[in-house]
Structure 1
Amino acid sequence: MTSSSGPILNDPLISCLCVTRNRVPMLKRAVSCFQNQTYPNRELVVIYEADDPETREYLASIDSPIIRPLEVRTSPKLALGALRNISIEFSRGHYLAQWDDDDWHGPERLAEQMTAIQQSERPVCVLMRWIIFDELTKMAYLSATRAWEGSILAAREALPKYPELSKGEDTVVIERLLSERKLTGLDKSHLYIYTYHGSNTWERSHWEQKILPYSQPLSIESQMQVQRVLEIEGGQGESAP
């Protein structure tokens, strides 16, 4: 099968790209989610800054050839978009997946998105809905329908450079890919839980004005299931509703 970006190999290497800073407990969950992926041919690139010793120590304790940490300088201070571009340069995959450190990634995320790319013959896949969880209120919601930036999986040659912005850098990329008609959308919300924890890139007002008003609260049973998934490191043995 071919795509607009060229032939798709069987199980091509996917590089999951994670930028992190000073939140090892969340990073541990993201790493565990990566380790639990059913898609076989993958690597995790973790970018952190030189003044983050706890992250350095944690990553040094992981004995895995497919988890590849990279320490970067702290001066001059690099914007999030610049750090994402460094992770792309350091990665080896034919496909690239954004892998935010503070979210939960379901075990089938990479496999399902790669299948969607192969079936659509477009080089990029994003999730159109995902579950969102407010750690401050312990409430879980089903998101509105849109192309969610954090869920992007893209062929390397199709992914433009991120603008060197501290926030909103991935929205610029998504908007360009949409305009170029390179996206296919996958409506499987159980593959991703986006969390608001108080130290996200976007402030609380963005959450309350741009996300919550367009989201649907889950049932009490589903909310409890989401909390269980997030409490179990990597969600082992549980799946999102």
Structure 2
Amino acid sequence: MSGAAPLVSVITANYNGAKYLAPAIRSVLRQTLADLELIIADDCSTDDSLAVIEAEVAGDPRVRVLKARRNGGPGAARNRALKAARGRYIAVFDSDDLMAPERLEKLVARARVDHADIVVDNLLLFQDDGAAPWRAFLCQKAWNHPRWITLADYIEAGRMYSRQPGLGYLKPLFSAEILKGETYREDLRIGEDYDLVLRLLAHGARMRFLPDALYRYRKHGASISHVMRREHIEQMLAADAALEIEKRAQCEAVRRAQERRRRSLETALVYDRVICALKARQVGEALGACAAEPAVWPLLTMPVTARLKRLAAPRANA
């Protein structure tokens, strides 16, 4: 690809997202910041994704499509897009979401003014079927103004079943400089966004929050974040453990937050065991697991819809 490098590279992993791709692409190409490129890493889709992209792009030279020979998962798809990105900033964007027209312009401005390595904005959540009104993801008073997000903040909000909204949902704008040498873990099918940002913060990256809800986060049944399996939790525990040596040099607040996150993931494993035992009518085994891990009891009293919501992790390629 010839010409000067763009200011922003928008990277999008896609797998069978044909239903939502057209409006997603339009929301990128109609940004007030036009100095951009859109890199779509298709993860071997079996639907009409490629045809939809071709029709929507209509020869726009700012768009590149990277086609995979086999399905490698969201981390692998995003890594291919990262490798191809040429921008000074890199924005992560899911293929079923939308963004406000001024979003990239505002994020870049915030990064420049505050000398931030990572900038995130609030999310505006909307249901695909229109069944519920649009709402802001972070609606507590603490998120009504620009602020720095520390490593301890980020880990604390990453606990399973926490009352705090998970900051791993937020879609970052990265400085390309801070990403050098860092890639997504390809063995993570859920939580790969959280893991990458966590590593960057552990290495000293500065993360700034913009309270404007400029990212439109679509909620629908086809998202893989609605399916949390035991192996996903085990993968997240392994990924966290890989950073333990680095975290030993961190402050006490970070160590405490990480311990609470570890315990929450371990509780989630026990919860999964209890549910499987109950489904198999093995009541004795379920009661034994609950007795060994009392933290599971409150989870069993939550309404089913609340449990599913709290189990949902940041989406990858939809």
TM-score, length of structure 2 as denominator length: 0.57
* SS at structure 2 position matched to 1:151: coil
Please point out which of 192, 207, 219 is paired with 1:183.
207
Q: Distance in 2 between matches of 1:101 and 1:207?
A: 23
The structure with the larger Rg is 2
1:25 aligned to 2:48?
Answer: no
Alignment RMSD (CA, Å): 2.2
Letter in 2 for 1:143: F
Deviation at 1:23, TM superposition (A): 2.1
CA contact (8 A) 2:91 2:171 kept: yes
Q: Tell me which protein shows more strand as a share of its residues.
A: 1
1:98 to 76, 92, 100: 92
Q: Greater relative contact order (Cα 8 A, min sep 6): structure 1 or 2?
A: 1
Partner of 2:196: 173
- Aligned counterparts of 1:155 and 1:124: Cα–Cα separation in 2: 6
Task: Please give the secondary structure, in 2, of the residue aligned with 1:100.
Answer: coil
Distance in 1, Cα, partners of 2:34 & 2:91: 14
Q: Deviations over 1:32-65 (max 9, x none)?
A: 0011100121000011134535112222332110
Map of 2:183 onto structure 1? 161
Q: Distance in 1 between matches of 2:59 and 2:126?
A: 31
1:67 shift after superposition: 0.8
The answer as to 2:188 corresponding to 1:192 is no
**Gaps spanning 5+ residues in structure 2: where?**
144-165, 228-304, 313-318
1:131 aligned partner: 124
Distance 2:95 2:308 in 1: 18
Give structure 1 stretches of 5+ with no counterpart.
1-10, 212-241
Shift of 1:184: 1.1
Distance between the aligned counterparts of 1:202 and 1:111, measured in 2?
A: 29
Identity over aligned pairs, percent: 25
- Of 73, 88, 110, the residue aligned with 2:69 is 73
More helix, by proportion: 2
Measured at CA, do residues 193 and 208 of structure 1 come closer, stay the same or move farther in structure 2, by a change above 3 Å?
same
Q: Distance in 1 between matches of 2:168 and 2:211?
A: 11
Which moved further from structure 2: 148-157 or 117-126? Answer: 148-157
Q: Which amino acid aligns with 2:192?
A: E
In the comparison of the two structures, how many residue pairs are matched?
197
What is the Cα deviation at residue 28 of structure 1? Answer: 0.6
SS in structure 1 of the partner of residue 225 of structure 2? coil
Question: Is the alpha carbon distance of 1:90 and 1:18 closer, same or farther for their aligned partners in structure 2, counting shifts above 3 Å?
Answer: same
Name the residue aligned to 1:152. Answer: 172
Give the letter for the 1:66 counterpart.
R
From 29, 34, 45, the equivalent of 1:40 is 34
Asked if structure 2 preserves the Cα contact closer than 8 Å seen for 1:98 and 1:150, the reply is no
